[in-house]
Amino acid sequence: MITREPLGVVGAVVPWNYPMMITSWKLGPAIAMGNSIVVKPAENSSSSALKMAELAVAAGLPKGVFNVVPGLGAEAGQALARHMDVAKIAFTGSGPTGRKMMQYAAESNMKQVSLELGGKSPQVVLNDCVDLEAAASAIGWAIYYNAGQTCNAGSRIIVEKGVKEELFAYLHKFLESFVVGNQFDPATQMSGLVSQIQRDRVNSYLDLIGQDGEKVIFGGQKTSGSDLLIKPTLIDNVKPGSRLAQEEIFGPVLVAIDAKDEEEALRLANGTEYGLAASVWTNNIARAHKFARKLRAGTVWINTFDMLDVITPFGGFGASGSGRDKSLHAIDAYSALKTTWVDLN
C-alpha cells in the first residue's frame, strides 16, 4: 500500500513583493496535507502575515497550526532553516539566500527544501508577429507592473530581425501613456520601489548604461534621497553577456537584445543561469509550440504574459530554484510517501 503522510512542521520564508499571495501558496498545500506551518515574513511586510494568522484563528483554525515569526532573515530565517524539528523549508526570495537555505538544511536534519528564486525572463518577438501593438503593451506590463519587483518579470526583450523598428515605436507609445506616480492614486499604473536599498540597487545598474555601447530609449534617470520612483526604463544595444542582460535587477528596467534569426533568439533566451518564465510572440502557433518546447523555463506564455492560475504549477529551472508552488504538484511536495507491505498469508 502506498500512502502520503504529513511531513510535520513546515517552515516558510516569504518575500515582501507579494506577501499575502506567496504566503497563501505555501500555507494552503501545507495545511491541506495535515502539516503545521511557521511563516517567517519579510521584515518590511510582516503585518500582512500576522493579520492572516489572526483571521485564520478567528475562522476556526486550531492554534499552533499557522504560526508567524517575524524577524530578520539572518536571525529568524536562519533559525527556522536550521531547526531540527522543521521537516521542510519552502523559500521564495533571492538566489544567494536560497543557497543558504540549502546549506542550513544540509547542516541540520537534511530537511526538504523547495526554492522559488529569481529570474531574467525573456520576451521573444519573432519576425512573423503580426500584432506588434498588442505585443508591446503586454511586454510593457510584463516588466513595469509592480515597478519590476516581480521574480518572473519579463526583463529581457529579444527581437528577431525585421520587426524591431515597429515594435519599438509601439513600446515608446506605451511608455508615453503609462501612468507613473503615487501608489494611492487609483490612476497610477506604476509607483515607487519598496525601499532606498532597492532603489540604490537599481541605480547601480543604471550606472552601467553606456559602458559597452548601451543606449537609453526611455527613462534611465537615477533618483536619490527619499525619492523611490525610478521611471520605466528601456535600454537598447545590450550585449548578451553583460551584467544588464544576465543579472536580476528587480526594478523597472527592460533590456533589448537583437537576434538575427530564430535559432539565435532561442540561444539568447536560454543564455542566462535563470529559467523561471518566458514568452514568445509569433503568428504561427506551430512555430510557437516548437520554440516553447526548447525554452528552459518553468512557465512559457505564447502571445501573452503573466497568465497564472492556482491549478498550474509555478517554479523554474536552474538558478530560478527547485520545486513548484501552486497546483496538485505543490500539494504532493508537502507530504512524504510511505510504502506498507502486508503479508496476507
Select which of 129, 151, 214, 262 is catalytic.
151
Q: Do 131 and 90 share a domain, yes or no?
A: no
Using CA atoms, how far apart are residues 67 and 15, in angstroms rounded to an integer? 16
**339, burial (CB in 10 Å: exposed 0-12, middle 13-18, buried 19+):** exposed
Domain at 34, CATH number: 3.40.605.10
SS3 119: coil
Contacts of 333 (CB under 8 A, 6+ apart): 29, 88, 112, 114, 323, 324
Same-domain pairing of 112 and 188: no
Which of 97, 30, 36 lies closest to 68 in space, CA to CA? Answer: 36
Respond yes or no: is residue 116 known to be catalytic.
yes
50 and 31 belong to one structural domain: yes
Please indicate, yes or no, if residue 289 is contained in any of the structural domains.
yes
86 inside domain: yes
What residues make up the domain containing 156?
A: 122-302
Q: How many domains does the chain have?
A: 2
Reading the block at residue 338, the C-alpha cell is 510511505
Active site (annotated) includes residue 129: no
Choice among 116, 160, 214, 262 that is catalytic: 116
43 and 152 inside one domain? no
pLDDT tens series, the chain, 345 aa: 999 999 999 999 999 999 999 999 999 999 999 999 999 999 989 999 999 999 999 999 999 999 999 999 899 999 999 999 999 999 999 999 999 999 999 999 999 999 999 999 999 999 999 999 999 999 999 999 999 999 999 999 999 999 999 999 999 999 999 999 999 999 999 999 999 999 999 999 999 999 999 999 999 999 999 899 999 999 999 999 999 999 999 999 999 999 999 999 999 999 999 999 999 999 999 999 999 999 999 999 999 998 999 999 999 999 999 999 999 999 999 999 999 999 998
80 plus 219 within the same structural domain: no
143 and 237 together in one domain: yes
pTM, 2 dp: 0.93
Q: Is residue 309 part of a domain?
A: no
Q: What is the DSSP letter of 85?
A: T
